[in-house]
Amino acid sequence: MRHDEIYMRIASVLDGEDDWVAAMATVACELHNAFAHYHWTGFYRTTSPGILKIGPYQGGHGCLAIAFENGICGAAARTGRTQNVPNVHDRPEHIACSSTTNSEIVVPIKNSEGNVVAVLDVDSDDLAAFSDEDVLLLERVCQYLELRYHA
């Protein structure tokens, strides 16, 4: 399915849904099942200052907690910027929840004050799996979530 169709599908499925956990679970499911190169798809949430805790996800086991200082997720949370990492083995801070992961993208989700409230993390076993279209889609989805649940 094409990226813009997935975006429209997510926006349509979430229409009228005001619960944040239901939204995260639905986004993880829709994205994960839309693309064969998305091998782990899910959220980490800022549950206390500087700490991310796992949220709804699809795929194998994910680490339960990540400090902002650690991992690609921590880098996204700390900097507030998308991290598109074509080869995770080039980033020593990468946390390997799965030994088969080769690339990863993490997009921050901010509240109206600009604080990172969660990150959307997608891992792939393929090298350089995430195209500009993936970046755009995931950033659009996160902007949608920001406006709808954190404005």
Site string for ligand SME, 82-111 (x = CB under 6 A): ------------xx-x------x-------
Residue 71 is a binding residue for ligand SME (CB under 6 A) = yes
Beta sheet of 103-110, edge-to-edge order: 65-67, 51-58, 40-48, 116-124, 103-110, 83-85
Near ligand SME by CB under 6 A: residue from 73, 117, 122, 137: 73
x/- mask, ligand SME, residues 122-141, rule CB under 6 A, reads -x------------------
Q: How far apart are CA 140 and CA 68, in angstroms?
A: 23
* Helices 132-149 & 20-34 angle (0-180, nearest 10): 170
147's tokens: 């406006």
Q: Which is nearer to ligand SME, 122 or 141 (CB)?
A: 122
Cα–Cα distance for residue pair 145/11, rounded to 1 Å: 10
Tell me the per-residue interface mask from 25 to 64 with ligand SME, x by CB under 6 A, - otherwise.
---------------x---------------------xx-
Q: What angle do CA 105, 19, 44 make, to 5 degrees?
A: 30
Q: Which residues in this chain contact ligand SME in the complex, by CB under 6 A?
A: 40, 62-63, 66, 71-73, 94-95, 97, 104, 121, 123
